[in-house]
Amino acid sequence: MPSSLGALRGQANDLGLPPLEHAVVVVVDGLGAAALRAREGHARTLASRLAKTTTIDAGFPTTTAAALATLTTGTTPGEHGLVGYRVRDDAGRLTNQLNGWDDRMDPATWQRAETVFERAASDGVASYALGVPAYADSGFTHAVLRGAEFIGGRTMADRFDAAREVLRTPGPALTYLYVAELDQAAHARGWESPRWTAELETLDALVAQLAATLGPGQGVLVTADHGIIDIPESGHVLYDTAPELLEGVAEVAGEPRLLHLYTEADASPADVAARWREVEGARSWVATRAEAIAAGWFGPVVAPEVAPRIGDVLVAARRRIAYYDSRDPQRTGRSMIGQHGSLTVEETRVPLLRFGAAA
């Protein structure tokens, strides 16, 4: 997104994009490079441009809230502050970063970085966010898309139609086009399912149609916020069945492939991490908050205001597993097949495909 804005300004940028009049960034939720490569016969337009030089690192954590904030601000989670799916907020609550916003978690301040749309407005560049209508006024939208004019499109095709309308207006203009359908299909049925493949085929056809209508100075970039892994029920790890893992743990947050453990006040995070490594170290990366920050998991800089949001101990799955609490009567998330959040290549490597003048 920052490179696209740079191209609209006629400036040098990290992607080496030429000067553009219109830039459209298509963000496909959950489209990992590995999954696209595995289904290349169903996505000839997209797959024909997929190579080692056309993939990028989605960053960590590979969860939508953090990754979309990174895309739309050009900063890492340690700076923008969205460090996970469900984390501890300033009021001491465990809050969902996608739909848990309220007056005690203000989008204008909780997401700490200026968005690329706000920077565009200061330069007189119009910016648009094309998304699902239900998300138009959400706290998350106000956090990561602020500064853009939101245009709702119920279906994937509706959003691509809206992009073509924007391209017909005088530039310069920056457009963010969000595709939710593949991630939704993966969670419900898995990325290896016929439903996911059908959504990929629809996306591929729409990208091909959009690319065919591009005029001079109009470029399209297709990328994703993260990849995805299918987790069978046999890969569900019930951490509460090993009592030593909960010793010293006050709260468990994050998501099934990336746990944020918040320790009790008198507990040592190092000791909690050591117990988890002993039991789970063969199939997960385990780090204390201090270790994860030092290793750059959340980016080169973690602001002092952001650090307490990160779990005292992090457990990131590296095998095809997901962590659950068997004591949960709702079996929350247990029906979800496609999952993400961790550091594996399948989750972190995503496409960056160029069309029109962006190519």
- Report the C-alpha gap between 163 and 130 in whole angstroms: 8
For residue 215, give the nearest of 353, 6, 357 by alpha carbon.
357
Place of tokens 């490594």: 277
Place of tokens 């465990």: 94
Instruction: Label the pairing between strands 258-263 and 313-317.
Output: antiparallel
User: Comparing 2-75+113-229+343-356 with 233-335, is the CATH topology the same?
Assistant: no
**Beta-carbon-side half-sphere exposure of residue 254 (alpha carbons within 13 Å):** 29
Task: Enter the pTM of the model.
Answer: 0.96
The pLDDT value given to residue 332: 85
- CATH number for the segment(s) 233-335: 3.30.1360.180
For residue 308, give the nearest of 104, 88, 107, 143 by alpha carbon.
88
Asked if 263 contacts 41 with a C-beta cutoff of 8 angstroms, the reply is no
Neighbours of 145 (CB within 10 A): 27
Neighbours of 114 (CB within 10 A): 15
- Report the C-alpha gap between 263 and 265 in whole angstroms: 6
The pLDDT value given to residue 103: 83
- Sequence ranges of the domains in the chain: 2-75+113-229+343-356, 233-335
Asked if 107 contacts 139 with a C-beta cutoff of 8 angstroms, the reply is yes
- Report the C-alpha gap between 162 and 177 in whole angstroms: 9
Place of tokens 């700490």: 112
- Report the C-alpha gap between 285 and 300 in whole angstroms: 19
- Report the C-alpha gap between 8 and 120 in whole angstroms: 9
Compute φ and ψ for 31, nearest 5 degrees: -90, 90
- Report the Cα 70 to chain-centroid distance in Å: 8
**Beta-carbon-side half-sphere exposure of residue 359 (alpha carbons within 13 Å):** 12
For residue 224, give the nearest of 257, 160, 256, 177 by alpha carbon.
177
- The token duo for 219 is 């470029």
194-212 vs 181-189: helix crossing angle, rounded to 10: 170
The pLDDT value given to residue 155: 98
Beta bridge partners of residue 53, listed in sequence order: none
DSSP structure string for 284-316: EEEEEHHHHHHTTTT-S---TTTGGGS-SEEEE
The pLDDT value given to residue 14: 95
Positions of the chain with pLDDT under 50: none
pLDDT of 253-270, one tens digit each?
Answer: 999 999 999 999 999 999
Burial of 330 (0-12, 13-18, 19+ CB in 10 A): exposed
Beta bridge partners of residue 130, listed in sequence order: 151, 177
For residue 353, give the nearest of 139, 150, 210, 158 by alpha carbon.
210
Domain spanning 2-75+113-229+343-356, CATH class: alpha beta
* Torsion 320-323-328-330 (CA) sign: negative
* Torsion 182-185-186-190 (CA) sign: negative
